[in-house]
Amino acid sequence: MKRFLVTSFAPVMARGVPGTGGTPDYTYSGGDDKRIPIAFAKKTILKFYDSCVVSQITNTDYTGEVTAQGDKVVMTTTPTITIYPVTRNMAPVWQTPTSDSVTMTVDRAIGFAFRMDKIDLKQFLNKQFMEDCAGDAAQQQKIYIDTEFLEDIYSDAAAANIGLTAGAKSASYNMGVSGTPFPVTRTNIIDKLLEMEGIGDESNWPESGRWVVLPSHYAVMLKQSDIKDASMMGDGTSTLRTGKIGKLGNLNIYTTNLYTAHTDTYSCYYVLFGHQSSTCFVSQLIDTEYFDKLESVQSGKGMKGTQVYDWKVVKPESLGYLYSYKAQA
C-alpha cells in the first residue's frame, strides 16, 4: 500500500526541433550558442510512500504532553476491585483501591535539515519546492518511526499470546516459533486471523480496538482467499491514508511494507496483532524553524526540525504475534 505527495509531472525538453544538414545547434547540450534552454517541470516527480500504522494501533492519549527528549510520561492503571461473597446481616468489607503507575521516558529523537541556495530557488519553476521538501520530511519521519516500532515491540508480547500453544485458556493456537515458523497461505490465512480473535477473547481484550498489521504480500493472500469482495471486510474510504484494508469480526486489518524480514530458512515476519491498550505511543515535533534568509557560506532558505517520540508496551497481555512466512497454497 502506497501513498503519494504530488500528482503532476511535465517532461524535460532535451533538444530542439531537428534541422537539415548545416543547421546550427542552439540547444543547451549543443556546441553553438545555446539559445534554447532546458525547460524544467513545474512540479516534482510523483513520489510514493509506505503506509504508516503506529498511530492507528496504539494509545496516543499522551501525545502533546512531551516537549523535549528525556521527558517522562506517568500513566495510572485501573485498580482491581475485590469481590467477596455476602451473607445475611454481613457488614461490608471495605477496600481502598490502589494501583501501580507506569512511567515512560521519551528517549528517542530524529531530525531533518535542508537548505537551498536562493539563486537556484529563483530559477526553479516549481515555487512550492521547499514546501514539497517539508512534506517529504514529514513522511520520512513516519516511515522511520514505523520501521523501528514494528521491529521492537514484538519482544514484549505476553507468552500466552505467542508460540505453538498460544491462548491463555486453551493453549490451542499455533502462532509459530523460531525454527518452526507457521506457513501462511491463502487457504489458511482467514483461519489464522480468526485464531488471533480467539486469543484476544481468551485474554479478555475489549471488542473495540483490536487490530492486526499484515505484510503487504499477506494482504494479497487475504484478498485472494474466500474474502474476495472488499465490502465483506467493511472497507472505508480512508484506506490509502491509514493502511487499513478492512475488518474481520472485531479485528481491524492494516497492511504495511515496513516489517523487517528475518531469515529462518524462509523470510519470516513477526506479524503483530493486539489491542490499542497494549502500547502507549507519544510523539511531538519540536524546534521546527524555517529560515527565509539563511546566511552562511552561501545564502538561501532552509528548514530544520526535531521530533521526539517513544513507546512503551504497558499491557503485554494485549499484544501477540504470528511468527510466519508466506508459503504456496
The band of 292, judged by pLDDT with boundaries at 50, 70 and 90, is confident
pLDDT at 106: 85
Residue 118 above 70 pLDDT? yes
pLDDT at 228: 56
Residue with the bigger pLDDT between 289 and 55: it is 55
pLDDT at 9: 35
Residue with the bigger pLDDT between 216 and 7: it is 216
pLDDT at 197: 96
The band of 23, judged by pLDDT with boundaries at 50, 70 and 90, is low
Spatial distance between the Cα atoms of 58 and 279, rounded to a whole number of angstroms:
5
At 309, list the grid cell: 517520540
pLDDT at 182: 98
pLDDT at 107: 86
pLDDT at 250: 92
Residue with the bigger pLDDT between 247 and 201: it is 201
Backbone angles phi, psi at 293, to 5 degrees: -135, 85
The angle at the Cα of 252, spanning 248 to 256, to the nearest 5 degrees, equals 115
Q: What is the mean pLDDT of the chain?
A: 80
Residue where the block lists cell 455476602? 86
Mutual orientation of helices 216-224 and 189-202 as an angle, nearest 10°?
110
pLDDT at 14: 40
Residue among 40, 52, 20, 99 at smallest CA distance from 259? 52
pLDDT at 70: 67
Task: Provide DSSP, 15-83.
Answer: ------TT----BTTSSS---B-----SSPPP-EEE---HHHHSB-TTTTS--STT-EEEEE-PPPPPP
Residue 157 · residue 321 · CB < 8 Å: yes
Backbone angles phi, psi at 199, to 5 degrees: -60, -40
Domain boundaries, the chain: 1-46, 61-329
Residue 100 · residue 315 · CB < 8 Å: no
Spatial distance between the Cα atoms of 129 and 123, rounded to a whole number of angstroms:
11
pLDDT at 287: 77
Residue 226 above 90 pLDDT? no
pLDDT at 212: 97
pTM of the model: 0.75
Residue 277 above 70 pLDDT? yes
pLDDT at 242: 47
Residue 121 above 80 pLDDT? no
pLDDT at 217: 95
pLDDT at 66: 64
Ranking 19-33, 176-190, 201-215, 248-262 by mean pLDDT, the lowest is 19-33
pLDDT at 4: 38
- Collect contacts of 77-84 with beta carbons under 8 A, ≥24 apart: 77/101, 77/102, 77/314
pLDDT at 22: 61
Ranges 61-75, 89-103, 306-320, most confident: 306-320
3-state secondary structure of 26: coil
Residue among 313, 328, 298, 271 at smallest CA distance from 102? 313
CA dihedral 210, 215, 221, 222 (to 10 degrees): 10
Residue where the block lists cell 445475611? 88
Spatial distance between the Cα atoms of 258 and 51, rounded to a whole number of angstroms:
8
- Listed in sequence order, the residues at least 6 apart from 302 whose beta carbon sits closer than 8 Å to its beta carbon are 113, 114, 115, 116, 290, 291, 294
The band of 230, judged by pLDDT with boundaries at 50, 70 and 90, is very low
pLDDT at 135: 87
The angle at the Cα of 30, spanning 24 to 35, to the nearest 5 degrees, equals 70
Residue 306 above 80 pLDDT? yes
Amino acid at 74: V
Residue 54 · residue 275 · CB < 8 Å: no
DSSP 144: H
| Number of other CB atoms surrounding residue 183 within 10 Å | 14
The band of 147, judged by pLDDT with boundaries at 50, 70 and 90, is very high
The band of 238, judged by pLDDT with boundaries at 50, 70 and 90, is very low
